[in-house]
Structure 1
Amino acid sequence: MLKITWRSLLKNKLTFGLNLLGLAVGMAAFLTIAQYMKFELSYDQFYGDADRVFRVNTFWSIDGEEERYATAPPPLAEVIREEIPEAEAVCRVFYWSDFTMRPENDFENAYRETEVYAVDESFFEVFDFGLIEGDPKTVLSEPTSVVLPRSAAIKYFGKEAVERGNIVGRRIMGGKDAGTPWTITGLMEDQPANSHLQFEFLVSANSYPDDLYRNQIWSWNVMHTYLRVSEKAVAEAGWKAQLEELLDQIVDKYALPFMDQGVAEFRNSGNRMEYLLQPLTDIHLTSNYLREMRPNGNMTYVKVFGLIALLTIFIAGINFVNLATAQASRRAREVGVKKVMGASRPLLIRQFLAESMVVSGLAAGLALIFTKGLTRLTGNLLDVSFLESADWSSMGLIAAGLWLVVGFLSGIYPAFYLSWFRPAEVLKGQHRSGWSDTAIRNGLVVFQFVLSIGLITASLVIKKQVDLFQDKQLGFTKEQVVVIENDREIEERGPAFKEELRRHPDIIQASFSNGIPGLNTYQRRDFKKEGDEVSWGVDWYQIDEDHLETLEIELQAGRNFRAGTSADSTGLILNEAAVAYLGLDKPIGKYLIKNEGTEDEERLEIIGVVRDFNLESLHHKVKPLAIQYFQGFVFKDYITVRLAAGNPRAAIDHIEKSWQAFEPGVPLRYGFLDVRYDQLYKGETRLANVFALFTGLAIFIACLGLFGLITFVVARRTKEIGIRKILGASTQSILQLLSRDFLLLVGIAFLIAAPLSWWAMQRWLENFAYRIELHWWMPLLAGLAASLIAVITISLRSWSAARANPVDGLRDE
């Protein structure tokens, strides 16, 4: 039977080739997306007992305003440790600042480390992964202890030292003057790419001041807090609800009293404050809260990619069915002869199914070849290196599954349809395809183009939304701004450094601040009006007198900070959202109390109001913001430098030379603000790129099927075309004749796809605080694009038939 099957396939080379290519491309798209989905769904699964590890998030709902934090206050971890026995281990993870580091044996070789996290000594009790050397219980117990991942250890001391085990006990010198020794107490494996925790160094939390790690400020949500729940606890029904009830008791006992909130009054007012447990393995795809460590993935997008994978393989299967049934008139005589010679219907069904399985099997093999290139391309578009972690053995199993499923499902209808022909009718030439056959084929073509038009519409809307992100007026100017990440290197010499930078004609202005637009997290302070009882949490950072000019932020009222004015050290600038949030009328000259009852309590005079500008992404509305004068270098700070338009290279060279003059031997780390800010939309940009790629593949597969169908239409109507040409029909009229029915199907597909795609994209746009308006022309443009693609596909095959000599088509008569 295999020999007969192969001969039959070669006899119908065009159909064989179109089916093989369509199925191979569809399967390759499916395999690539499946590999990406597997990568995304595998985040943080590699930790030991990952299903028992949770992050504690903070939820606030006050006066109808909701906020969700990926962080919790510093004292919460210790209280959980003492009052919740079900938590067998608790640890905090906190990003402090950048570090300039040098190996102890090579002071000339300096590195700027930007992924350094301070963690509690219980870190490896919560995250059971990768420790090669060191005791997990004590490796982070002493001050200035460091655990290095393997790649960092190789960078500082070389591969040979790592392989010989000559790392633990050595020192790395920190600070611009290499004056702070850090002792390496442990060596661990690098974090896999599918971890939401990415770091270059882990340092002991008790290396830092007590007022940071042992303070009792319950309103300061700055530390990522994780806990491992005991195995005994998770075995009990309803354990999670019981644990969150204990966390609610902690809120009532500690957090609300600290914030001068009466528990009963707070609850009765409809307000809520909760500490919620989020499974570690859910963080990457279901968490997009304030103060995430980095932008996470999105489960909705993973589901969308999965849907695209199914649709693509489905379109390829539709092609197979359509092309097989379209050949009915050609293969009817073959079926009739075989039946007369004694072939039973089950035997013919097996033969046609065998043809389908052979084509599907060859396509699966070809798909594995295509997948490698498509995976690399998709990885580049997504900026995710999941090719390295690709499991080709499992991919082979998926390909084998696709071979069996697609081969059987695609072949079952054509097999039963073709084997049904009656030999007496087909041998007399009396067999005609019924209206139901044509209706099924037309319905499948319509379905293909419904999917194609929907995908084109979605690609267009996503692209327009990404363009909005990149082009919207943000309230500040992000272009031509260089951001230098300053790890307190340039401190008291800041004014001299700015003056040196401004000497270059292509540098307009420079400023210092401890915050810039586009960060993952911002510090927060509590503010209240004098005489009020309640404080309100407001985003906060410090700037110097040149910051507003550097970023071109507009003052709405009052004035900017002034250098050398001692009174401005207690001055405050608010944005318009903060003025409304705090209920201030004519705010200039009024006073606010910052962090009442704490060591850094201050009475601040409002000297200015700036127009709202987007610190965060356009997923969120502008939040209240309070700005103080830049005085200290306690936290990480930034130097922003505005360049003149044009070629920035000369200005960059001047920045690099100035830095080395002020800080010789210290690495300079800088980037452009617009690039940094646009990283906030990496998820949407990735979606747009990949959506466009797989939309193109789906349309390509649909066009293969359309090309095959028009080929059979032309073959069946060859004599009709010849007669029409003899009677004077023009080439244009022949093209119209052949394309009319197919364009009608595209029109029907548009009428179905337009409202569906409109509804789907309206739902997607609801995820954004700032979004484009859907217009009637978007699905119309998608329909016109699909029609144009169909016309081009049909014309490629119809042109030769319309131009052919009619005598050739009538010669057999």
Structure 2
Amino acid sequence: MKITLRYLLKNRRTTLLNVLGLAVGMATFLLITDHVQYERSYDQFYEQPEEIFRVNTLWGFEGEEERYATTPPPLAEAIRNEIPEVEAVCRVFYWSDFTMRADNDLGKVFRETKAYAVDKDFFEVLDYGLIAGDPATAFVEPASVVLPRSTAVRYFGEAAVRDGKVLGRQLLGGKDAGTPWKITGVMEDQPANSHLQFTMLISACTYPDDLYRNQVWTWNVMHTYLRTKALTPGAREQLQAKLKNIAETKTLPNMPMAASNPELLAKANFDFPLQAITAIHLTSNYLREMRPNGNVTYVQLFLWAAYLVLFMAIINFINLATAQATRRATETSVRKILGASYGSLVRQHLSESVATTVLAAGLSLLLIVAWQEGAAQWMGATIKGDALLQPIFWTKLLGLCLFTGLAAGAYPALFLSRSTTMNALRGRQVKLISDYNLRNSLLVVQLVLSMALMAGSWLIYQQVAYFQNKELGFAKNNLLVIENDREIEERKDVFKEELLRHPGITQVGFSNGLPGQPTYQMRDFRAEGKSEGTGLNWILADATFLPTLDLELLAGTNFKLGNSRDSLGVILNEAAVKQLELTNPIGQVLIKNEGNDDEERLQVIGVVKDFHLQSLHQEIQPLAFCYFKDFVYKDYISVRLSDEDIAGAIAHVENSWSAFEPGVPLRYSFLDENYNELFKSEVQLSKLFGVFTLLACFIAGLGLFGLVSLLLTERVKEIGIRKVLGASLGQIVLLLSRQFLLLLLVAFLLVVPLFWYGSTEWLQNFAYRIDLTPTPLLGAGMGVLLLAAVTVGIRATQAALANPVEALKND
């Protein structure tokens, strides 16, 4: 260790370059692997999570299919009765928003927008965290509610929760606090790494007709979970076969076109596929998800990028070690003459390598602490302060030190110690791999990785910018959205007039759907005279909704206020016209939900230009607008703000709401922020790859600087002789830089097919995407060229400007 420390201090520049490079690589690796571990830990906190599944819905017709994260209401009961290997099954269902007060403080009013109705068997399936109450009876009685700890503290205070004085108390719901809800349980808050987030759970039997006993097999609205006995692969296949049988015997016969077109049903593919609850977050982006999920591809990309950054740091170490090999040849030979064995030389090299990584690990800890806040913004979750005190973190750090030290020191330890004494004293070494070829190969790999990361970062940025700037077909900016939930009903028109009194508010519209939502209602529509119908996204909208969103009407007219004919009118988008095969759509009659209680004959009165209702990952879906004539369980008020006095307009909205609904808290958001959540993963990916690119360029720059410095040390006399013989500064710099320019060209040729293949595959994830052009590749090539030119050029210029007398005086 004494010799090791002496060597590291003697070679301060090389030690500093190695420590900096390895520290950046190790800190990046630890941050990213912690993030990846967090992403993969979703829903692992349940008891025996491998036995919990969510049931999804697959609807397929003639090669086209739709996957839903939800199922019809009667499925749960069918599973209980027909599949004995299922131990328990429960449904989770969003019913509506709730206005709630604690029984001892009617003046403190809360608006609950994440309340879910659940079956009585909820805790038999999702068994996490009940700290007060009986799990078997918590949801048996109507109007029962279970509160997470944070919600209970919000209503009753920390002391009441701590002392167990919440169970049995009441929440008073409604505008007038006239609906009592009994608290039958208190549970721990759902961990952040859960796909299911809620502020309260209520008993589903509170709504027996609409929810608990609903028998509509085509209404995909409930998230259904089940717990099984331990399943072998064969047993899971049998369970899946039974679910498919339920789909074919119960759902298919109830489809609207079952009677009119049995031939179509014969070609249909219906199923209720199982999905492990631990796989939902990273592998599920179906229709009607509870919340936006992660992306397993992006998580894998993060992990690969972390490995690449660490690998580049190790390459630097190996390159610098091989560049120093000739300088250390005499040292090695003297050690052998004095009796050093091959094993002792190997241990010496490895101790130097491990000592360097230990120093780098200490610096990496400082970098992790410094980067924590920024990393949390880039990734959404990262190493927290208390995690640094956990044994698992130090185990990972120690393992990384040993792995990195041994990996980086393996070549110099095993191969460079194998030279014979005479060859070493003559300045020659016997190695399995030529130093020159090894260094060049590793440098090419490093340049390829730097260019690939830079080009990939550029491409991702272009796609994200395309998402953010693409014309969506509606005006998303300056649009305030109020979550109404039936509060403003009969007084809709009066409320609109009140809002429009402010000059900063230009339009107000009511609807039960908006762009950017995770779920939409669907209805079956059949054109009169046609035998087949089709499912369309369905939104109720009033006469001012279309102009509030600035939707373009291509044909026909909008709904008109007070026009009774429009109450039976329908407005389609272009995709719906195409789906229904309507040549002249205006005036055509459509039958909605034929054979069901809400069947209607509607006349097409208008066609709007296609707009992006959902994410740009998906093609524009067919959509039908019907007139907003009846209240719905969840609706929205869209308020168009002008660019002037936005703060004043928002204050007017708040005051108007308080005047109309004094006992109901106002909840609002902005449509552009809500819509941007749909490509949050891509924005995160863009930021991270930008950071990876900077780190990779930093490490590559350190490596180039150190490598050039060591190589120039070997050519000091050559440079001096050339200057004495009349070589100019430019000639010497070009001579010294030519080798690196050639390697850069080789790296560019290698990265072209890799980038083109990877980019093409990634862009296939988007229905709307940029055109793949050479710009990112060329930009990356120029960027790395600039990095190499600056790094190599500075050191080459310094060497060329040195006094040749200093280089030659010893000879």
Letter in 1 for 2:436: T
Greater shift in the superposed pair: 158-167 or 111-120:
111-120
Q: 2:82: which partner in 1?
A: 83
Q: 2:647: which partner in 1?
A: 649
- How far the C-alpha of 1:386 sits from its partner, in A, is 5.9
SS of aligned partner of 1:700: helix
Q: 1:252: which partner in 2?
A: 248
SS of aligned partner of 1:107: strand
Q: 1:765: which partner in 2?
A: 763
The number of residue pairs the alignment matches comes to 809
Q: 1:284: which partner in 2?
A: 281
Letter in 2 for 1:80: I
- How far the C-alpha of 1:176 sits from its partner, in A, is 2.7
Greater shift in the superposed pair: 279-288 or 362-371:
362-371
- Does 2:328 align with 1:328? no
Change (3 A) 1:504 1:728: farther
d(CA) in 1 for partners of 2:505, 2:261: 57
- Does 2:378 align with 1:371? no
Aligned counterpart for 2:314 among listed residues 313, 317, 325: 317
Contact 2:522–2:538 (Cα < 8 Å) also in 1: yes
Aligned counterpart for 1:381 among listed residues 367, 378, 382: 378
Contact 2:31–2:383 (Cα < 8 Å) also in 1: no
Q: 1:452: which partner in 2?
A: 450
Q: 1:155: which partner in 2?
A: 154
- How far the C-alpha of 1:459 sits from its partner, in A, is 0.7
d(CA) in 2 for partners of 1:547, 1:183: 39
- How far the C-alpha of 1:182 sits from its partner, in A, is 1.6
Letter in 1 for 2:614: E
Contact 2:204–2:211 (Cα < 8 Å) also in 1: no
CA offsets 1:136-186 (integer angstroms, 9 cap, x no match): 111011111110000011111110000010111111122233222221110
Greater shift in the superposed pair: 646-655 or 30-39:
646-655
SS of aligned partner of 1:147: strand
Q: 1:270: which partner in 2?
A: 267
SS of aligned partner of 2:577: helix
SS of aligned partner of 1:419: coil
Q: 1:661: which partner in 2?
A: 659
Letter in 2 for 1:632: D
Letter in 2 for 1:559: T
d(CA) in 2 for partners of 1:789, 1:574: 55
- Does 2:356 align with 1:345? no
- How far the C-alpha of 1:380 sits from its partner, in A, is 1.4
Q: 2:514: which partner in 1?
A: 516
SS of aligned partner of 2:669: strand
Contact 1:27–1:367 (Cα < 8 Å) also in 2: yes
Greater shift in the superposed pair: 451-460 or 400-409:
400-409
SS of aligned partner of 2:215: coil
d(CA) in 1 for partners of 2:761, 2:657: 49
Change (3 A) 1:86 1:716: same
Greater shift in the superposed pair: 401-410 or 525-534:
525-534
The 5 A counterparts of 1:538-549 are: 538-549=536-547
Aligned counterpart for 1:307 among listed residues 283, 304, 309: 304
Q: 1:584: which partner in 2?
A: 582
Letter in 1 for 2:149: R
Q: 1:501: which partner in 2?
A: 499
Contact 1:100–1:487 (Cα < 8 Å) also in 2: no
SS of aligned partner of 1:108: strand
Change (3 A) 1:731 1:208: farther
Contact 2:38–2:381 (Cα < 8 Å) also in 1: no
The 5 A counterparts of 1:745-756 are: 745-756=743-754
Q: 1:54: which partner in 2?
A: 53
Greater shift in the superposed pair: 307-316 or 423-432:
423-432
d(CA) in 2 for partners of 1:808, 1:434: 36
Letter in 2 for 1:43: Y
SS of aligned partner of 2:326: helix
SS of aligned partner of 2:273: strand
- How far the C-alpha of 1:211 sits from its partner, in A, is 2.9
Contact 1:252–1:263 (Cα < 8 Å) also in 2: no
Letter in 2 for 1:200: T
The 5 A counterparts of 1:588-599 are: 588-599=586-597
Q: 2:607: which partner in 1?
A: 609
CA offsets 1:195-241 (integer angstroms, 9 cap, x no match): 0000011111122251344222211111111111134xx2x551111
Q: 2:138: which partner in 1?
A: 139
Q: 1:179: which partner in 2?
A: 178
d(CA) in 2 for partners of 1:182, 1:797: 76
SS of aligned partner of 1:109: strand
Q: Which ranges in structure 2 are unaligned for 5 or more consecutive residues?
A: none
Q: 2:739: which partner in 1?
A: 741
- Does 2:193 align with 1:197? no
Greater shift in the superposed pair: 271-280 or 382-391:
382-391
d(CA) in 2 for partners of 1:788, 1:733: 19
- Does 2:353 align with 1:356? yes
SS of aligned partner of 1:117: strand
Q: 1:564: which partner in 2?
A: 562
Letter in 1 for 2:168: G
Contact 2:479–2:671 (Cα < 8 Å) also in 1: yes
- Does 2:108 align with 1:109? yes
The 5 A counterparts of 1:380-779 are: 380-384=377-381, 387=384, 390=387, 392-429=390-427, 436-646=434-644, 648-779=646-777
SS of aligned partner of 1:186: strand
Contact 2:99–2:112 (Cα < 8 Å) also in 1: yes
d(CA) in 1 for partners of 2:116, 2:422: 82
Letter in 1 for 2:412: P
Greater shift in the superposed pair: 795-804 or 691-700:
795-804
- How far the C-alpha of 1:12 sits from its partner, in A, is 1.2
Q: Which ranges in structure 1 are unaligned for 5 or more consecutive residues?
A: none
Change (3 A) 1:431 1:248: closer
d(CA) in 2 for partners of 1:457, 1:50: 40
CA offsets 1:509-568 (integer angstroms, 9 cap, x no match): 111111100000001111122344443221111111111111110111111000011121
- How far the C-alpha of 1:771 sits from its partner, in A, is 0.8
Q: Output the TM-score relative to the length of structure 2.
A: 0.96
Contact 1:35–1:390 (Cα < 8 Å) also in 2: no
d(CA) in 2 for partners of 1:465, 1:797: 38
- How far the C-alpha of 1:782 sits from its partner, in A, is 0.9
Q: 1:72: which partner in 2?
A: 71
Contact 1:719–1:809 (Cα < 8 Å) also in 2: yes
Change (3 A) 1:248 1:267: farther
